[in-house]
Structure formats: structure tokens, C-alpha cells
Amino acid sequence: MDFQITGQTRFGGLLGSPVRHSISPMMHNLSFRLLGLDCVYLCFEVTPQKLGQTVSVFRDLGCYGFNLTMPDKKAVMPYLDAISQEAELIGAVNTVVCRDGRLTGYNTDGYGFWESARQEGFQPEGRGMTLLGAGGAAGAIAVQGALDGLSQIHILNRHTRSWEAAERLVSLISRETSCRADLSDLADEGMLAEKIAGSDILVNATPVGMAGRGDDGKPEISGEMPVPADMAFSPDMWVGDVIYHPRRTALLQKAEQEGCRTFNGMKMLLYQGAKAFELWTGQRMPVEEVQKAFFS
């Protein structure tokens, strides 16, 4: 697997701030090497103020494309020539393909989530979901799920910061797709229990349960759950968590104890990258090798 930068090497990468912690360069560069593609993927610290200028330079220099992370996912949209249906509905772009100087934006986050759900045996067509949270990850999961054939989405969110965004998401899904969507307050435990009981899948898209840092700076596993600990789950239900650190959140541990099938956010991360790789190269990412190298 020798690799040399040549006069022909094409470039792309991740734009955002901060980006230095990202696993994406490892995933994509290993995949380029394994497939013998003369391409590199780098990280670029780019704030929204410098985004227009950077995108213009990337276009002029003939990159194959790039990813975007916070805070550039929405800010990039005015600089693109075309935007895919899911990215338009989600209102955010995480992948741009550059072909013959033309830039097309996509959002592969929702694809990544639903591909990981399918791998666990869950097919969204005709099924109902309870979704906790209404931020960036939740929006991508809801929109892609609706486009992929979910029949019903119950969104539960705190009646705070993102409530209006949640209302917009619900009306957009109901208007633009054949899926029905509704919104309830996460603090209403009776409503939460009712929505979960009527769903085939429960998805946590809030950061509740994510590992943090203690006062001494050491990693600390959170035992917090986005639902009451004594809420009953049907063993027929799937439970997915967008969190991947820790691998088994308190919610997933509870769901496992109740006999549910569970999955964490690890494969969402893997498959959103795999889809971006395919959009850039037309080739399938060697996900088994990438998973073994960086996700095990």
C-alpha cells in the first residue's frame, strides 16, 4: 500500500471549526490507499467568515469535493450550484461534490443513520419512530427517514431553545413527504410513554448520556437517560442512540435489559462517510477494513 503524492494527486477534505479531532481523514485516506486512488483528504479550519473564499478556491483548484462540519453546514449553501432534495429539506449540507467546476451539496448524515439501522435488521418503510431531540442530527434522521418511507414520526423535544425549529421540521415533513409527523413536549411523561408504545423504533438524538469530562479532566461516563428509568419498552422495539461515546449509553443498556434490539451512533458516523466517499469516487468505501482499523 505504498503511497506517493504525485503531480496528479487530487485533494479534498473537511471544512469547519474545530476539525482537528476528526476521524474522517483516517477513514478516507485509508480507503483511497486500499482502492489505489490518487487522492488525499485533509482538515481545514474554516469559519463561516472565510467559507465563501475557501469554497471558491477549492472549486478553481479542481478538488474532488469536501465535507462540512459545524459551523459551516448551513453557511455553505449559498455558495453551491445545486442542492440535493434531502439537504434542501434538512437545511444543511455535509458533503459537496465538485465535478467540472460545478458544486453539488448533499447531506449524508441521515443516510448514515438509516444504513446502520438497516444493518441491525430495521427497515423504515411503513414503520413508526419516536425521535428524542430536534437539533441537527435529529433533523437529518427525521427527513431521511420520511424520504425512506417511515409512515409516522413522533418528535419529543424540550420546550426551550429548539422548539420553533422542531415545529418547522414537523410541518416540513408533513408538507413535503407522505410521512405524518407530530411534536410533543419531552417533559410530558404520559405523552412520551404513549408515543413510544405506538412506535417500532425509539431514537435518541439528544446529547443526554454522552460521556463528558470530570472536574479532574478524566473521561466520565454519564448514567443519564433521556427517558424515565422505569418507562416500559416493548421487546419488539428497536432502540438507536446517535451517541457513540460511550458505546453503550444508559438508554441502550436499559433497552437491552428489556429485550430490545439496539445500536449506537458508531455506524452512523461510518456510513455517512461511506456515502460521501461513494459520491466523490463512484466507488464503494471498503467499510469492513475501515471499521476494523478505526471503529473496533
The one-letter amino acid at 97: V
Which spans in 21-63 are helix H? 24-35, 48-60
**Residues 54, 55, 60, 62, Cα dihedral to 10°:** 110
The answer to whether residue 237 forms part of the interface with ligand NAP (CB under 6 A) is no
Which helix (H) or strand (E) element contains residue 98?
Answer: strand 95-99
Residues 6+ apart with CB under 8 A from 198: 128, 152, 154
Interface region with ligand NAP, contact rule CB under 6 A, candidates 21-29, 84-92, 135-143, 251-259: 135-143
Region for 151 from its dihedrals, namely left if φ exceeds 0, alpha if ψ lies in -120 to 50, beta otherwise: alpha
Nearer to ligand NAP (CB atom), residue 158 or residue 180: 158
Strand order in the sheet with 39-45: 39-45, 10-16, 65-68, 95-99, 102-106, 82-83
The answer to whether residue 158 forms part of the interface with ligand NAP (CB under 6 A) is yes
Nearer to ligand NAP (CB atom), residue 39 or residue 132: 132
Query: Minimal CB distance to ligand NAP: which residue?
Result: 135
**Site for ligand NAP (CB under 6 A): which residue of 51, 169, 181, 243?**
243
- The least CB distance from residue 155 to ligand NAP, in Å, is 9
**Active-site residue, 73 included:** yes
**Site for ligand NAP (CB under 6 A): which residue of 44, 244, 294, 295?**
244
Nearer to ligand NAP (CB atom), residue 143 or residue 268: 268
The answer to whether residue 134 forms part of the interface with ligand NAP (CB under 6 A) is yes
Give the residue among 139, 140, 142 at the shortest CA–CA distance from 124.
Answer: 142
**Site for ligand NAP (CB under 6 A): which residue of 83, 90, 202, 210?**
210
Residues lying near ligand NAP in the complex (CB under 6 A) are found at 109, 133-138, 157-158, 160-162, 186, 205-208, 210, 226, 242-244, 265, 268-269, 272
Which are the catalytic amino acids? 73
